[in-house]
Chains A and B, each alone.
Chain A
């Protein structure tokens, strides 16, 4: 398994664990009483599961197993692949901080706009790198 795929799959596992821990905290009465922001992090939980876990796991496995691009660069552009990993996780991290911060009345414009931009560019980087590898033999 290539190094980038290992990073994608391990990051996906971290997101799965984080999402399920967050779910426990959201459901725990004592925790949500002590930290009222837990009542508004449902979208964060959902995105950790669907983007952080599911989509990122797909990215990692697709980068590993999809047909080779060429003998010289079998997995397309490594730079685009790494950009995808870093931007997607940066976007998720900004969201994880930004959403509770917004609930506590903090200034969140740079966090949430940064999150939106980073996730968008991360997703598009994956599409750009994967597209030429999806072809008929």
Chain B
């Protein structure tokens, strides 16, 4: 498994562990007298699990197993995939920390997540081809 896939999949596992912890806290908050501000973590729960876990795992596995090239670097241009890794995790952490309200934090988080998708597509697009 290439280094970037290891990083993406392990980071996705960390997001899974954190997202499940936030989800358990949200469910417990229905029954326990916890601080009402806990409920503001709903957006963080969704970002950690839908993008930090699911989307990042898919990117990590895709970087590993999509068809490779015979000539030149076997996985093509890798830098857009590295950029996607940095932008996605920055965006998820910013979105999770900033919450869902108005403001620059959530907007920057969403922009970073969107740019991560573009960067990863830039890497993966030429690899979506027959094997060989």
A, B from the same assembly: yes
Of A7-15, A20-28, A29-37, A108-116, which binds chain B?
A108-116
- Selected from A55, A116, A123, A124, the residue in CB contact (under 8 A) with B27 is A116
Q: A116-B24, A131-B10, A134-B10 are in contact. Are A123 and B16 (CB under 8 A)?
A: yes
B6–A135 contact, CB under 8 A? yes
Q: Which residues of A contact B24 (CB under 8 A)?
A: 116-117, 119-120
Interface centre among B23, B25, B49 (most CB of A within 10 A): B23
* Chain B: interface size category: 20 to 34
A58–B32 CA distance with the chains assembled, in angstroms: 32
B20–A120 contact, CB under 8 A? yes
A94–B119 CA distance with the chains assembled, in angstroms: 40
Q: Which residues of A contact B14 (CB under 8 A)?
A: 127
Closest to B57 in A: A58
A124–B20 contact, CB under 8 A? yes
Closest to B49 in A: A50
Q: Which residues of A pack against B, CB within 8 Å?
A: 50, 54-55, 58, 67, 95, 102, 108-109, 112-113, 115-117, 119-120, 123-124, 126-127, 130-131, 134-137
Q: Which residues of B pack against A, CB within 8 Å?
A: 1-3, 6, 9-10, 13-14, 16-17, 20-21, 23-25, 27-28, 30-32, 49-50, 53-54, 57
